[in-house]
Chain A
Amino acid sequence: MIVRYCRARLGRVSGQYHIADDVAQEVCIAVLGALPRYRDMGRPFASFVFGIASHKIADALRSAIRAAVPTEDLPDGPDEGPGPEETVVRYIEAERARDLLDRLPEHQRELVLLRVVAGLSAEETGNVLGMSAGAVRVAQHRAIARLRAMASEESIA
């Protein structure tokens, strides 16, 4: 979940998810380091983890260095993944989705990322964000309606 959350927030750099995966690793290390100081204040543990993840992502965005990731060897073997055209289309659509999500209010963006990318249920998302499941359902309905409106405006333009 943390890997997906960081990937959805940071996106690809030079066509790869290396930066996002490194941030996810830093998040896990920070969680392990913060475990002795963790006190149960009535909120779920997932909110503690995602709070650390959001801070780490903010740090990574602040000190973002868009540089190519060097590799030792060129990949030389059959690629079982999708073809180049399909990969490019998926990459463009994913980037467009990230742009639309960045234009959402922060609360709705976090809700959509937790609900869709991290794969949490409405109850779990409500526990993380301090909302009820019904409030999560209403907020996600408003978020998807706003996303539809923005996507239709872009397609018209």
Chain B
Amino acid sequence: MTRGRATTPDPFDISAVSSSDELFDALSTRRLADVRRSSSDDPAAALLAALVADVDAGAPPLPAPPSRVPCGLQGQYRRGVRVFVTFGVAAMVLTSAGAAAAGGGKDLGAMGGTHGSAGVNGAERSNENAQRHDPVADTNTMLTGRRMPTRRPPDKRPRAVPPEDSAPRAADDPRPPWTHWGHRPSRGTTRSPVDGHGHHPSSHTDAHPSNDGWHRSPYRPERTSTP
């Protein structure tokens, strides 16, 4: 039956291979006492232990395996870094959340999930917001999760209205526009207050609608408006 397997080596037991590997590990790591104690009836192990002890006599010590100590130190270092980063991120989140809550809850919507956890205080705060803000905008905020742009009240501050016909129009100027753009003043001309603030007079165009008397070029004759 085994004529085809005549040249193959004998089958071996896995447990025997592992026990032999343990014996070789003990011999290579110089645990000779363990070897002699565990294999007292094994003459080969005793002879190998005697050979190792004889060879090691007076020899320099074997180098320690380099992969064990750095791994432990690296693991501790990484663990420390992880703990530090975790606490740092948690502290930043808690600080920003506390600052947002102290600021009236305006920024809590950006962090997400604040509507569901509002509770009684959230309801009170939303009432305050309703009194303070535009209710239409708050409704849009609740529906879409974003704050919609609201209409601003009209600005009641006085605006500087340019006087009519105070600036000469380009159509009225008989010269072509490129002739007075970048026009340099002649010598002896008094400087305008605009120049006193550092603005070059050539940077202003007369045709700009926002030009008032103050920014008007002083090199033009003043035109009087006739009602």
Complex Cα distance A31/B9, Å? 38
**Which of A54-62, A63-71, A114-122 forms contacts with chain B?**
A114-122
A77-109 interface code vs B (CB 8 A; 1 in, 0 out): 000010000000011011011101100000000
| A91 cross-chain contacts in B, Cβ below 8 A | 54
Q: List residues 1-37 of chain B with CB under 8 A from any CB of chain A.
A: 9, 12, 16-18, 20-21, 23-25, 27-30
Known: A8-B51, A96-B47. A141 touches B17 (CB 8 A): yes
Whether the Cβ atoms of B47 and A93 lie closer than 8 Å is yes
Residue in B24, B27, B30, B55 whose Cβ sees the most chain A Cβ within 10 Å:
B55
Known: A120-B28, A137-B21, A142-B9. A148 touches B43 (CB 8 A): yes
A138 close to B (CB within 8 Å): yes
Which of these, B18, B28, B59, B63, contacts A116 with CB under 8 Å?
B28
Query: A-B pairs with CB below 8 Å: how many?
Result: 97
B165 close to A (CB within 8 Å): no
Whether the Cβ atoms of B51 and A98 lie closer than 8 Å is yes
Binding site for A on B (CB under 8 A): 9, 12, 16-18, 20-21, 23-25, 27-30, 42-48, 50-60, 62-63, 65
| B9 cross-chain contacts in A, Cβ below 8 A | 142
Whether the Cβ atoms of A122 and B55 lie closer than 8 Å is no
Taking the nearest CB of chain A, how far is it from the CB of B169, in angstroms?
Answer: 84
Can you show 13 pairs from A to B with CB atoms below 8 A apart? A3-B60, A7-B59, A96-B50, A98-B51, A117-B51, A118-B28, A119-B28, A120-B28, A122-B24, A140-B21, A142-B12, A144-B23, A152-B43
| B46 cross-chain contacts in A, Cβ below 8 A | 93
Whether the Cβ atoms of B59 and A4 lie closer than 8 Å is yes
Whether the Cβ atoms of A140 and B50 lie closer than 8 Å is no
A48 close to B (CB within 8 Å): no
Whether the Cβ atoms of B55 and A8 lie closer than 8 Å is yes
Whether the Cβ atoms of B44 and A144 lie closer than 8 Å is yes
Known: A7-B59, A137-B21, A151-B44. A115 touches B51 (CB 8 A): no
Known: A90-B53, A115-B28, A137-B17. A1 touches B43 (CB 8 A): no
Query: Interface size on A (CB < 8 Å)?
Result: 38
Known: A93-B46, A141-B17. A119 touches B29 (CB 8 A): yes
Complex Cα distance A64/B30, Å? 30
For the residues of A in contact with B, the DSSP-based class is helix
| A1 cross-chain contacts in B, Cβ below 8 A | 62-63
Minimum CB distance partner of B29 in chain A: A119
- A-B pairs, top 9 by smallest CB distance, nearest first, are A93-B50, A94-B54, A147-B44, A97-B47, A97-B51, A151-B43, A141-B20, A148-B44, A119-B28
Which of these, A81, A100, A140, contacts B47 with CB under 8 Å?
A100
Apart from A4-B62, A119-B28: 16 A-B pairs, beta carbons within 8 A: A4-B55, A7-B55, A7-B59, A90-B53, A90-B54, A94-B55, A112-B48, A116-B48, A117-B52, A120-B28, A122-B24, A138-B17, A141-B20, A144-B44, A147-B44, A148-B42
Complex Cα distance A88/B47, Å? 14
Q: List residues 113-157 of chain A with CB under 8 A from any CB of chain B.
A: 115-122, 137-138, 140-142, 144-145, 147-148, 150-152, 155
Taking the nearest CB of chain A, how far is it from the CB of B19, in angstroms?
Answer: 9
Which of these, B20, B47, B59, contacts A137 with CB under 8 Å?
B20
| B30 cross-chain contacts in A, Cβ below 8 A | 119
| A121 cross-chain contacts in B, Cβ below 8 A | 25, 28, 65
